Amino acid sequence: MAKRVYLFGKGITEGNGGQRNLLGGKGAGLAEMAKRGFNVPPGFTITTEVCTAYYANKRKMPAGLNEEVKKSVAAIEKHTGKQFGGHKNPLLVAVRSGARESMPGMMDTILNLGLNDTTVEVLKAKSNNGRFAYDSYRRFIQMYSGVVLHIERANENEHDPFEIIISEAKNKRGFKHDNQLPEEDLKSIIEKFKKLVLEKTGKPFPSDPYKQLEGAIGAVFASWMNDRAILYRRKYKIPEEWGTAVNVQSMVFGNMGDSSGTGVAFTRNPATGENEFYGEFLVNAQGEDVVAGIRTPLKISAMATTPHLENCYKELCDVRKHLEKEFGDVQDFEFTIENSKLYMLQTRNGKRTARAYVKIARDMVNQKLMTPEHAIESADPEAIEQLLAPVFHKESYQKAINANLLLTKGLPAGPGAATGTLAFTAEKAERWSTHGPVVLARVETSPEDLRGMLAAKGIVTAKGGVSSHAAVVARQMGKVCVVGASEIDINYNTGVLTCGDKSIKEGEFISINGSTGEVLIGKIDTAPSELIQVLIDKTMAPKDSELFTEYDFIMKLADKYRKLGIRTNADQPEQAINAVAFGAEGIGLCRTEHMFFKGDRIDYVREMIIFAAEYAEYKSKLAQRPGDAVLLENEYHIPIMHFKDALEKLLPIQQEDFEGLFNAMGERPVTVRYLDPPLHEFLPQNKDQIEELARKLNVPFERVSQTVHSLHESNPMLGHRGCRLGIVYPEISEMQSRALFRAALAVAARNKKSPKPEIMIPLVGFERELELQLEIVDRVAKEEFAAAKRTLEYKVGTMIEIPRAAIMAEQIAKHAQFFSFGTNDLTQTTLGMSRDDAGHFLPFYEKEAGIVKSNPFATLDQIGVGKLMEIAVQGGRKTRPDIKLGICGEHGGDPASIEFCNGLNLSYVSCSPFRVPVARIAAAKSAVKAMPPPAEKKAVKSVKAKKVVRKVRKK
């Protein structure tokens, strides 16, 4: 049987930091810290595999686990010299969750477990501190009752029933803080708590420590499936199968008096990335007080001058340095000081904003504290988009300041500027966000507010510090966030937020700056981020932007590691230029139909479409009766004239467009996809028939039109589109080929640089389709090259976007120099779900029925659609080993899908211009993840050698 319980502590540690999957992040961190000599209170970790077994076993503990737990408790008793439930020197424990990826505040924790009416008296006698003993006991009852016995507040605006009892006691004495309550008050609070438990559950509060422990372990496992944990996992795509570990750790006490305390800290600032000790602590308190945001803690630097704690501060500064060196990344750690002795309770790689990520990665790599591989592997590619997020528009902001609209300054906790309607509850934030941006304001947030936080553009809280729930969660979500704005008063009942003599009502505009902590009345315009100013608007010099320098360092580092090329989907020169500024190396998809809508050219397109069918009819008759050529020409005189005329008018327009793209891209490859959508999409909608039915039924036109509209299912696009257009109307492909070659030749002549056109034929399913289109392209190329008296290199390939193409890839590759996976259509056709209509039921499939883990049109269905891609890759390479393979569906900008493409060894991914930075990082991250483990790494001789490998692959 696999080992289920792992001890940790000085000299007894059984696990290590590499066992995250088994021990969870917390368990692995504790084991590693203990091994590396940090002062960790001893304990044990019950593995994530037990959690999986617990759920497989209908939420029952696996047989024999209790005995193993007892054995481990005995080991801790021996190590500490304390006894669990003992009458002389009782061992108390903390029971905490710890998943593979941290899920801050989503699961449950219980402290001070092991206390009962007897042990509390021993604790009092031993510590000579009755206040401390009763305070610990009341905390334990309160936590245990909430987590294990489910005695909780009724709704989000109600108070916790236990907090009500505490508040009454404080009010009676006129106290502000719980730590002012004397021993006798705590004793009476405990009695009231126990009475409440009896009333609510019909049973007395459990006093047997082993029973308490069993309940707590079960509750932590059960909390893996609570609503907020499920919601969090969905948002961050954490698989349900992972489960959580449970950590049982001997207690140390931060609430022993003024020489005790507790805190959380980051080795660097996780909001800005500054190399400064960042954190906070509370004197005479336990860990949960800091995270819950109930008391506003002090800055960590204040500990240097706090009586009894000065030496601990010095020790903490050493710990800070030591942790970064040992763990090779910024650490987010928890500590407790018991009677001036420092204990480490947890460490993990600190979550950080994208802003902090680039700075920390650049600085720590330069300081040789972090490996370049880790800098890339620890990136959150999606978060890179945050760097492109807006800031307040300078003038609009100054106007607000001059008008005295600054309400207050809280703590900056999630950078960026947000403006929106003020909402006080998660429910309103969620509802109102469908109409426009919302800023959620709460006195303090709890995990129940997660939905509202997800929906809001920004979050502001009156209480709590930079590591409170609101701050931690907002940072991770990339939300603008201000916490601890203690001057504001949020009145849930009247719906008014007040600060001194100023106020804002719910529903009115509020603006917040999560980089400075400012909270302002009204709407303030936002301005583009510095990266946009440097790269796109060119209104800022690169050297003037620190953010740009750091971003650039990381992007260049990413480029060293990635194997995938990065291209963009662009059809306008401006889009192409933006994409190149973000690092695109070519165009992976130019949808030529997008060029058809500009200006009055749509009229020529419509003219072409309206006469296309008759023109095709003429041609077909001519093929059957060549002797009647003159007769037929007369008969079809009008359609021939219009159809040809329309194409002639379109030719120079298309040529001009292509020239624009070639100019923008220089010698970078430009993949031009020939006309793809069904032709009806270019035509106006028919109103007449709707009017007629409305008249017959005697109801208003809008009534019928609305119904027709709502019942309309878009054509799933299985009709006359893609290369099928060019097969039936070869003149269209000919016109596009001519425009493309003329443009390429013109640009080559002007710029002395040869564009690299790649012609891409859409929706191919049959080898013959591609062959027929290829004939046109090659013939036109020859004609145009002859006319220009020069040649150009070009490639012709196809999209793989219907299952038959994937299956027949071996044959199709005979005629294709490249494949590009059109995964939008490939998903649509493989799943038999229209990409236009699936939105009606896909959310249900994903969120309610759990049939799909994520939207397959956003994140590749790797085992289904991905399987077809694998078949196509194999088939293509079999016929043409050097075939170039890319992806240009929306999945080309999705990090998980990019990782899959990296695994298939594709040549490139292509995505929209603003996703290019995300794709660069995602490609590098997947390459680093796929690198051999350190021992095998030596085989790769040098970075130089690696570069050569990459260059060869990219070709």
Could you list the residues that contact ligand PEP (CB under 6 A)? Answer: 589, 591, 676, 801, 822-825, 888-889
Residue 871 CB contacts under 8 Å (≥ 6 apart), including other chains: 806, 807, 809
Q: For residues 109 and 162, is the Cβ–Cβ distance under 8 A?
A: no
Query: For the chain, how far is it from start to end, CA to CA, in angstroms?
Result: 50
Which residue, 588 or 822, has its beta carbon nearer to Mg ion? 822
Spatial separation of the C-alpha atoms in residues 244 and 219, rounded to whole Å:
11
> How do strand 244-250 and strand 278-283 relate by DSSP bridges?
unpaired
Which residue, 747 or 869, has its beta carbon nearer to ligand PEP? 869
Residue 24 CB contacts under 8 Å (≥ 6 apart), including other chains: 45, 48, 97, 98, 99, 100, 244, 245, 247
Among ligand PEP, Mg ion, none, the one that 823 touches (CB under a kind-dependent 5 to 8 A) is: ligand PEP
Among Mg ion, ligand PEP, none, the one that 185 touches (CB under a kind-dependent 5 to 8 A) is: none
Which parts of this chain interact with Mg ion (CB under 5 A)? 801, 822, 825
Residue 645 CB contacts under 8 Å (≥ 6 apart), including other chains: 607
Q: Tally the C-alpha atoms within 13 A of residue 423's C-alpha that lie toward its C-beta.
A: 28
Among Mg ion, ligand PEP, none, the one that 889 touches (CB under a kind-dependent 5 to 8 A) is: ligand PEP
CA 650 to chain centre: 43
Cβ of residue 653: shortest distance to ligand PEP, in angstroms?
Answer: 20
Q: For residues 217 and 165, is the Cβ–Cβ distance under 8 A?
A: no
Among Mg ion, ligand PEP, none, the one that 892 touches (CB under a kind-dependent 5 to 8 A) is: none
Among Mg ion, ligand PEP, none, the one that 816 touches (CB under a kind-dependent 5 to 8 A) is: none
Which residue, 129 or 820, has its beta carbon nearer to ligand PEP? 820
Residue 463 CB contacts under 8 Å (≥ 6 apart), including other chains: 293, 294, 296, 443, 444, 483, 484, 486
Among Mg ion, ligand PEP, none, the one that 578 touches (CB under a kind-dependent 5 to 8 A) is: none
Shortest CA distance to 186 belongs to which of 121, 122, 133? Answer: 133
Which residue, 722 or 895, has its beta carbon nearer to Mg ion? 722
Which residue, 269 or 827, has its beta carbon nearer to ligand PEP? 827
Cβ of residue 822: shortest distance to Mg ion, in angstroms?
Answer: 4
Among ligand PEP, Mg ion, none, the one that 589 touches (CB under a kind-dependent 5 to 8 A) is: ligand PEP
Cβ of residue 601: shortest distance to ligand PEP, in angstroms?
Answer: 19
Which residue, 114 or 889, has its beta carbon nearer to ligand PEP? 889
Cβ of residue 781: shortest distance to Mg ion, in angstroms?
Answer: 24
Shortest CA distance to 108 belongs to which of 100, 116, 99? Answer: 99
Spatial separation of the C-alpha atoms in residues 490 and 503, rounded to whole Å:
10
Among Mg ion, ligand PEP, none, the one that 591 touches (CB under a kind-dependent 5 to 8 A) is: ligand PEP
Spatial separation of the C-alpha atoms in residues 209 and 212, rounded to whole Å:
5
Does the annotation mark 888 as catalytic? yes
Spatial separation of the C-alpha atoms in residues 888 and 822, rounded to whole Å:
6
Which residue, 578 or 798, has its beta carbon nearer to ligand PEP? 798
Spatial separation of the C-alpha atoms in residues 51 and 217, rounded to whole Å:
10
Cβ of residue 831: shortest distance to ligand PEP, in angstroms?
Answer: 13
Work out the widest C-alpha separation in the chain, in whole angstroms: 117
Burial classification of residue 656, based on how many CB atoms lie within 10 Å of its CB (0-12 exposed, 13-18 middle, 19 or more buried): middle
Cβ of residue 761: shortest distance to Mg ion, in angstroms?
Answer: 11
Shortest CA distance to 611 belongs to which of 652, 557, 649? Answer: 649
- In 3-state terms, what secondary structure has residue 178? helix
Which of 79, 469, 815, 891 is an active site residue?
Answer: 469
Cβ of residue 919: shortest distance to ligand PEP, in angstroms?
Answer: 15
Burial classification of residue 399, based on how many CB atoms lie within 10 Å of its CB (0-12 exposed, 13-18 middle, 19 or more buried): middle
Residue 726 CB contacts under 8 Å (≥ 6 apart), including other chains: 674, 675, 732, 733, 761, 773, 776
Residue 143 CB contacts under 8 Å (≥ 6 apart), including other chains: 109, 110, 111, 112, 288
Burial classification of residue 863, based on how many CB atoms lie within 10 Å of its CB (0-12 exposed, 13-18 middle, 19 or more buried): exposed
Among ligand PEP, Mg ion, none, the one that 280 touches (CB under a kind-dependent 5 to 8 A) is: none
> How do strand 93-99 and strand 261-266 relate by DSSP bridges?
unpaired
Cβ of residue 489: shortest distance to ligand PEP, in angstroms?
Answer: 52
Q: What is the DSSP string of 810-832?
A: HHHTTT-SEEEE-HHHHHHHHHT
Cβ of residue 816: shortest distance to Mg ion, in angstroms?
Answer: 16
Structure tokens given for 388? 């492109």
Among Mg ion, ligand PEP, none, the one that 552 touches (CB under a kind-dependent 5 to 8 A) is: none
Among ligand PEP, Mg ion, none, the one that 75 touches (CB under a kind-dependent 5 to 8 A) is: none
Which residue, 388 or 888, has its beta carbon nearer to ligand PEP? 888
Among ligand PEP, Mg ion, none, the one that 896 touches (CB under a kind-dependent 5 to 8 A) is: none
Residue 243's identity, in one-letter code, is G
Q: What is the DSSP string of 830-857?
A: HHT--TTTGGGTHHIIIIIS-SSSS-TT
Which of 888, 891, 901, 911 is an active site residue?
Answer: 888
Cβ of residue 892: shortest distance to Mg ion, in angstroms?
Answer: 12
Cβ of residue 516: shortest distance to ligand PEP, in angstroms?
Answer: 42
Cβ of residue 798: shortest distance to ligand PEP, in angstroms?
Answer: 12
Which residue, 421 or 575, has its beta carbon nearer to ligand PEP? 575
Burial classification of residue 292, based on how many CB atoms lie within 10 Å of its CB (0-12 exposed, 13-18 middle, 19 or more buried): middle
Which residue, 280 or 825, has its beta carbon nearer to Mg ion? 825
Among ligand PEP, Mg ion, none, the one that 888 touches (CB under a kind-dependent 5 to 8 A) is: ligand PEP
> How do strand 587-591 and strand 565-569 relate by DSSP bridges?
parallel
Q: For residues 729 and 738, is the Cβ–Cβ distance under 8 A?
A: no
Which residue, 284 or 569, has its beta carbon nearer to Mg ion? 569
Spatial separation of the C-alpha atoms in residues 879 and 872, rounded to whole Å:
11
Spatial separation of the C-alpha atoms in residues 12 and 9, rounded to whole Å:
5
Which residue, 48 or 828, has its beta carbon nearer to Mg ion? 828
Does the annotation mark 840 as catalytic? no
Which residue, 273 or 889, has its beta carbon nearer to ligand PEP? 889
Cβ of residue 838: shortest distance to ligand PEP, in angstroms?
Answer: 14
Q: Catalogue the active-site residues.
A: 469, 888
